[in-house]
């Protein structure tokens, strides 16, 4: 019984992630932004990232591989939404920052994202959302632990 429930939980998580990509990208198609690009722009728009982030920091924050990140960064750079500069603390590393155009785009897509959130979380109370975040954090911590054990 618990195996069945666990399977259902992970399958539902997989389905939800796929729908997030599909429906989330549709929510921002007017600005030609995918959910992956949205996550990068969002990460770089945070106050704690005002001086930019290294590629490694961005990969760690978003939990994606460097290979996946490279193409996404190139496309955003081609659109002049971000810049890559040499990191002053490590000449081998690149620091990624939003351009003014990238910051302006973030201001345009924030209301679209918030509207997407409102529709996606319909029927979930504030307490439901807190509980959901709590359990997602627990799951993420366990998966990080597994990842560290497998890579040890």
Q: List the helix and strand counts (H, then E) for the chain.
A: 6, 3
What is the per-residue DSSP string for 11-76? HHHHHHHHHHHHHHHHHTGGGT--HHHHHHHHHHHSGGGTT-EEHHHHHHHHT--HHHHHHHHHHH
Query: In whole angstroms, what separates CA 134 from the centre of its chain?
Result: 18
Residue 82, beta-bridge partner list: 98
pLDDT score at 92: 84
> Could you read off the pLDDT of 63-102 as tens digits, one per residue?
998 898 999 999 999 999 999 998 888 888 889 999 999 9
Alpha carbon distances (Å) from 14 to 8, 19, 47: 10, 9, 31
pLDDT score at 68: 87
Under 8 Å between Cβ of 63 and 25: no
**pLDDT by 10s per residue, the chain, length 152:** 889 999 999 999 999 999 999 999 999 999 999 999 999 999 999 999 988 999 999 999 999 988 989 999 999 999 999 999 988 888 888 899 999 999 999 999 999 999 999 999 999 999 999 999 999 999 999 999 999 999 88
pLDDT score at 11: 96
Query: Which residue ranges make up each domain of the chain?
Result: 24-120, 124-152
Structure tokens at 104: 């302006």
pLDDT score at 87: 80
- SS3 assignment, position 142: helix
CA distance 58 to 38: 13
Architecture of domain 24-120: Orthogonal Bundle (1.10)
pLDDT score at 28: 93
pLDDT score at 72: 94
CA distance 34 to 26: 8
Q: Rg of the chain over CA atoms, in angstroms?
A: 18
Residue that has been written with the tokens 């996550």 in this structure: 39
pLDDT score at 73: 95
């Amino acid at each position: 019984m618990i195996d069945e429930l666990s399977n259902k939980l992970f399958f539902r998580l997989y389905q939800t992630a796929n729908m997030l990509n599909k429906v989330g990208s549709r929510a921002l198609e007017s600005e030609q932004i995918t959910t992956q690009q949205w996550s990068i722009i969002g990460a770089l728009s945070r106050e704690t990232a005002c001086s930019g982030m290294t590629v490694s920091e961005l990969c760690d924050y978003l939990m994606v591989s460097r290979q996946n990140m490279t193409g996404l960064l190139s496309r955003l750079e081609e659109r002049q939404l971000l810049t890559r500069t040499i990191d002053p603390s490590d000449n081998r590393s690149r620091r990624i920052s939003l351009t003014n155009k990238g910051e302006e785009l973030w201001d345009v897509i924030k209301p679209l994202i918030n509207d997407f959130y409102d529709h996606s979380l319909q029927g979930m109370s504030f307490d439901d959302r807190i509980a959901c975040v709590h359990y997602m954090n627990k799951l993420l911590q366990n998966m990080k632990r597994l990842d560290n054990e497998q890579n040890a």
